[in-house]
Amino acid sequence: MINNNTNLTTPKILIVDDDFTSSLILEAMLETDGFRVVRASGGVEGRSLAKKEKPDLVLMDVNMPDENGFEACEKLKCDSELPDIPVIFITSMQDVASKLTGFEVGGVDYITKPYEQAEVTARIRLHLRLRRAYESVINTYSTKVAQLASAQKAIMPTPEDVPSARFSVVYRPLHEVGGDFYDVVRVGEDIHDFVAADIGGHNLGTSLATAGLKALLHQDMGLIYTPAEVVKMLNDVIRPILMEEQYLTLAYIRLNRSNNTITMVNAGHPPAIVIDNNGNLRELAAGGDMLGAFEHAHVRSEKISVSKGDRFFIYTDGAIEMDTPQKITRGQQRERLRAACAKAQSQPIDEAAEDVLKTLLSDGSIIADDLLLLAVEV
């Protein structure tokens, strides 16, 4: 949320001008109009004072010896604490090139010397109102995004919600909300369905689609349909409603602990990682088409036997598309993920997913896409 100083009864104005007399006159004018005023005698001091005082608006002289107004404004706008403070330049220059330079470095307006008090006050009040309106929009947007993030989180079950599933999960959206999605559903006695999905895109529309995806899946998840049938029906429903060039990749695993099998359907998604009690690792691909791209998506399932204590991991591509210090390839990142999953075998299942992520980030790698990883114990 933005720090909204303009809500104060008396807005604070920072004057940056090396001309002592000029700044005093301007200060007196502003104080008679009810503003609070702080002054700096140069660009360097002005930037320092701006960080300390957090003014609502800056009046910046252009011609100053230590750091001219354009340089000071450009540096001020690069400061993560100060980019939204409006800067109005004060200058005797009237050429178009100078004015364009001022706008390019982040200025919002010009006041030309000699200035009239009425004009100065009018321009200041205009830009304070604009800033207040901007902050109101941003704060409203931030509130709505936070609410959406909370709602998105609420529709994805925690291990405590489905304790019989014996899983752990990490979900790190790149922004406040993301396009990755998972679900865990008990569909029968000792039978659970696990879904990890990735909806292409990084906008609010993508994140909103996750709620619809959950509803669509829950219509058909259950023992009367196989995972392959559920995925085919999902493709039939979402294909007409996805936006152009939008797609969905999905890994769907049904774990049957009564007969120790897992059945996987993969729709254009990274392969699952399966590790047995002896540490032997294999990938389960069950390759198929991404959903939403084709009217008749190719869907096939793969079924394997497992034993009590075996584990499998399903994830989205954020786990293998990190910004790594060594700039390693996607293939090398897949190998790195496999090693991290193998290492996590020594951890309790409720800590396994976090342990994998901790290992992936231990070399200074940075998450560069929505990241989701589910760890499940047979």
pTM: 0.63
Ranges for all domains in the chain classified under CATH 3.60.40.10 = 155-377
Residue 164 CB neighbours (<10 A):
12
Average pLDDT, the chain: 85
In which band, very low, low, confident or very high, does the pLDDT at 268 lie, cut at 50, 70 and 90?
A: confident
Residue 133 CB neighbours (<10 A):
11
Looking at residue 231, its pLDDT comes to 85
Looking at residue 206, its pLDDT comes to 52
In which band, very low, low, confident or very high, does the pLDDT at 1 lie, cut at 50, 70 and 90?
A: very low
Ranges for all domains in the chain classified under CATH 3.40.50.2300 = 5-146
Q: Which two structure tokens, joined as six digits, stand for 302?
A: 């793969």
Q: Which amino acid is at 226?
A: T
Whether the CB-CB separation of 250 and 267 falls below 8 Å is answered with yes
Q: Which two structure tokens, joined as six digits, stand for 162?
A: 């489905």
Looking at residue 321, its pLDDT comes to 92
In which band, very low, low, confident or very high, does the pLDDT at 373 lie, cut at 50, 70 and 90?
A: very high
Looking at residue 235, its pLDDT comes to 82
Q: Does 170 score more than 90 pLDDT?
A: yes
- Position with higher pLDDT, 65 vs 313: 313
pLDDT in tens, 276-307: 999 999 998 877 887 877 777 788 889 999 99
Looking at residue 112, its pLDDT comes to 85
In which band, very low, low, confident or very high, does the pLDDT at 254 lie, cut at 50, 70 and 90?
A: very high
Helix (H) or strand (E) holding 254: strand 248-256
pLDDT in tens, 110-162: 988 888 888 899 999 999 998 888 877 777 666 665 655 565 566 688 999 99
The pLDDT > 70 percentage for the chain reads 87
Nearest Cα neighbor of 341 from 293, 281, 296 is: 281
What percent helix, strand, coil does the chain show, rounded to 5? 40, 25, 35
In which band, very low, low, confident or very high, does the pLDDT at 2 lie, cut at 50, 70 and 90?
A: very low
Whether the CB-CB separation of 347 and 286 falls below 8 Å is answered with no
**Residue burial 358-377, b: 16+ Cβ < 10 Å; e: rest:** ebbeeeebebebbbbbbbbb
Homologous superfamily of 5-146: Response regulator (3.40.50.2300)
Whether the CB-CB separation of 377 and 319 falls below 8 Å is answered with no
- Position with higher pLDDT, 5 vs 268: 268
Nearest Cα neighbor of 131 from 159, 109, 154 is: 109
Looking at residue 297, its pLDDT comes to 78
Q: Does 210 score more than 90 pLDDT?
A: no
Domain 155-377 belongs to what architecture?
A: 4-Layer Sandwich (3.60)
Which of 83-92, 204-213, 220-229 shows the lowest per-residue confidence on average (mean pLDDT)? Answer: 204-213
